[in-house]
Structure 1
Amino acid sequence: MFGQVNLLAVLVGAVISMVLGFLWYSPVLFGNIWLRQIGKSADEISGAAGAYALSFIAALVSALVLAFIVGAFGANTLGEGLLIGVVVWIGIGATATFVYSVFEGPPIGVWLLHGAYQLVVFVIEGALFAVWA
């Protein structure tokens, strides 16, 4: 079933996800906005080595599943990979996280910030997996 999945591409996709997340949630990009939206300080977030390890495992699983979807559709062009990334984000990523936001009540800005990050990750990984099949 996973014979067509390029595991090196999955690893690279997960690393890209982590690097992008580090930048996305840092003061370089949107970190200050994120902290303000969730009502925490940088000190409350820092030193979370366990959180980074769990996040990397989640990034690996997510990348593996997306690589499988890209392979199952036989996508092998940049455009096909980008499209699958967007479709998976709309159908799974955006909708699932939106439901949590509706019930948990964080500001919509938190959902938008997380959702935009996940969209960028899925699009990059979708393209990566399609062209590196």
Structure 2
Amino acid sequence: MEPNFLAILVAALSSFVVGFIWYNPKVFGTIWMREIGMTEEKARQSNMVKVFGLTFVFAFMLAFMMPTLVIHQVGAMQLAGGNANDEAFLAYMQVHGEAFRTFKHGALHGCIASLFIVLPVIATNALFEQKSFKYVAITSGYWVIVMTLMGAIICGWK
């Protein structure tokens, strides 16, 4: 019923694949750097082990919570108090089983979650930080793609 560790790991790693493409200078990297005031020189001063290490930790944390957002059966399990042997939960699973456990369904819920959770957070911060609409679009767009992909992986992987 719940996703396995490998699905969560792959979902977390997918954020790196998307990031390497999304923030490539030929895609949105150059525009994004200009919007945040980043230079190549300043970027080289970063501790990349720290940056990528913590980025993976945060991506893993997000992927770990995605089942709650994209797998309906997790909600049913929660209602049963986490008891997989609860009679009502077992009856529910007999009727509904793996319903809506598809890549497509997970992608839909991942996308909706990004639009209604991540976009408002990024846009609110950007308003107070006086960041541009381009910054909001690029940064939020990245998370829409990542969470859509994470949702697909976690919901569809059986």
Task: Give the TM-score, by structure 1 length.
Answer: 0.88
Instruction: Quote how far apart the aligned CAs of 1:26 are.
Output: 2.2
Residues 42-71 of structure 1: CA distance to partner in whole angstroms, max 9, x if unpaired? Answer: 221134321111111110001111133223
Alignment of 1:38-77 (within 5 A): 38-46=36-44, 47-49=46-48, 50-71=50-71, 72=74, 75-77=100-102
Instruction: Quote how far apart the aligned CAs of 1:16 are.
Output: 1.0
CA RMSD of aligned residues (A): 1.7
Aligned residue in 2 for 1:78: 103
In structure 2, C-alpha distance between the alignment counterparts of 1:21 and 1:102, rounded to whole Å: 24
Q: Secondary structure of 2:60's partner?
A: helix
Instruction: Quote how far apart the aligned CAs of 1:116 are.
Output: 0.4
Change (3 A) 1:59 1:80: same
In structure 2, C-alpha distance between the alignment counterparts of 1:69 and 1:6, rounded to whole Å: 16
Question: Which of 3, 6, 20 matches 1:22?
Answer: 20
Same amino acid, percent of matched pairs: 28
In structure 1, C-alpha distance between the alignment counterparts of 2:51 and 2:104, rounded to whole Å: 33
Alignment of 1:1-133 (within 5 A): 4-46=2-44, 47-49=46-48, 50-71=50-71, 72=74, 75-133=100-158
In structure 1, C-alpha distance between the alignment counterparts of 2:26 and 2:8, rounded to whole Å: 26
Q: Secondary structure of 1:27's partner?
A: coil
Aligned residues between the structures? 131
CA contact (8 A) 1:14 1:63 kept: yes
Instruction: Quote how far apart the aligned CAs of 1:36 are.
Output: 1.1
Task: Give the TM-score, by structure 2 length.
Answer: 0.75
Instruction: Give the partner amino acid of 1:44.
Output: K
In structure 1, C-alpha distance between the alignment counterparts of 2:106 and 2:131, rounded to whole Å: 32
In structure 2, C-alpha distance between the alignment counterparts of 1:84 and 1:60, rounded to whole Å: 18
CA contact (8 A) 2:3 2:157 kept: no
- Which runs of 5 or more structure 2 residues have no equivalent in the other structure? 76-98
